Structure 1
Amino acid sequence: MARRTFFSFHHDEDNWRAWNVRNSWVVRSQDQIDRGFFDSSVFEATKNESATALKNFLRNGLENTSVTCVLTGELTWQRRWVRYEIVRSVLKGNGLLTVDIYGVENRRGMVGSKGADPLAQVGLYKVPGGIFFAEWKGGKWVKYDDYTLAVPAGDLWFNAPTSDTVVQISSHYVRYDFTKQNGRQNIGDWIETAAGLAGR
């Protein structure tokens, strides 16, 4: 079965690092396909149209994927659209994983600093009205604004929350370090592990 992977990352800050990670994956088997590497000008143009247009753009990018790999630098956890890609990935049942890329050199030959896990900035909680997404914002958990519908418990591959205490998405997924854990050699296996956890 074809393994289609969507790569989520901070386009402004980590584009160079993300492309280096992608290029290290060109030795993958032919049935592995990457998504999410948009031309920057297309991404920026869509972002400038409207939030609705960008949401549609990102949802289309996630179509026919089974895994979402969040390539994480120092500031990725703060990015609104990375959070949206995470939420949409949970909704469609994708496997998810975080791969830290701060140790990969940027175009100036500099490495970055480790940032927070983006999957830990998004969570789920249950109230009488259903299960909803939350995000860590302004030092506290708040209801997620970019997707406000209730989430059917049966649509989640992991155990649904049972209280109003937010359960971080990161508690169900694995975080790796591309540099320290030889991602050039191992990222394909990490992606397969994420797919397996989600039953994809």
Structure 2
Amino acid sequence: MAKRVFFSFHYQDVIDFRVNVVRNHNLTKDDNAGYFDASIWEDAKKESDLALKRLINKELKNTSVTCVLIGSHTFERRWVDYEIMKSVERGNKLIGIHINNIRGKDGKTKTKGNNPFYYLGYSYDSTGKKLFLHNFIEGKWVKYSDLDGWNVKEVEDSRRNKIYRLSTSCSVYDWIDDDGYNNFSNWVK
């Protein structure tokens, strides 16, 4: 059965056309590449923070995979962080795809951007019954401010009071080097 995939990205990568290559690659395939596109376009200038959160939450509903399209500055985008953290809360599978090897509308490629999963983390409190979210900013972990933690099934003592980077558990691919055109449907399984 096809997965509903939410795409998270920095809007500049839409302008450069790299996001479009990934999001629309299924249009040239007979099998729909194994997913349905459930993403939204970021338009922060027209929406309040609360309205944007509601819009993101609505678009994430009924998705099972969140695919972060990683460009040069994706790791610095507040709303990409929110989409990732909300996906963690929902239990979505998270994957990242580097898109800077895709030629932009100018015909050029760029060097890989930083992995946004490296800058996001989670921890369990001392009781092991609550999960908290964190950002890695200027070399230190700080509490993630756009989403509260939540109660979880109690975790073992050895997992408490430690911060775990999302990069240790999220697969990241390169659209060109890893042949995303032919492998995307396997990545989102």
TM-score normalised by length of structure 1: 0.83
CA contact (8 A) 2:74 2:116 kept: yes
Percent identical among aligned pairs is 34
Match of 1:178 in 2: 175
- Cα deviations by residue, 1:142-166 (Å, 9 ceiling, x for unpaired): 0000012x3233399xx99823321
CA contact (8 A) 1:74 1:116 kept: yes
**How far 1:74 sits from its partner (Å)?**
1.4
CA contact (8 A) 1:102 1:113 kept: yes
CA contact (8 A) 2:122 2:164 kept: yes
SS of corresponding position for 1:65: coil
Change (3 A) 1:170 1:155: farther
Ranges in structure 1 where 5+ consecutive residues have no aligned partner: 193-200
Q: Distance in 1 between matches of 2:185 and 2:157?
A: 28
Match of 2:184 in 1: 187
Q: Which has the higher helix share?
A: 1
Q: Which amino acid aligns with 2:153?
A: G
Match of 1:197 in 2: none
Match of 2:21 in 1: 20
- Cα deviations by residue, 1:108-141 (Å, 9 ceiling, x for unpaired): 1121111111112111012347320001112211
**How far 1:34 sits from its partner (Å)?**
0.8
Q: Distance in 2 between matches of 1:147 and 1:187?
A: 29
TM-score normalised by length of structure 2: 0.87
- Range moving further from structure 2, 164-173 or 86-95: 164-173
Q: Which amino acid aligns with 1:153?
A: V
4+ residue runs of structure 1 moved beyond 3 angstroms? Answer: none
Ranges in structure 2 where 5+ consecutive residues have no aligned partner: none
Change (3 A) 1:160 1:124: farther
Aligned-residue RMSD, C-alpha:
2.4
Q: Distance in 2 between matches of 1:135 and 1:186?
A: 31
Match of 1:100 in 2: 98
CA contact (8 A) 2:100 2:111 kept: yes
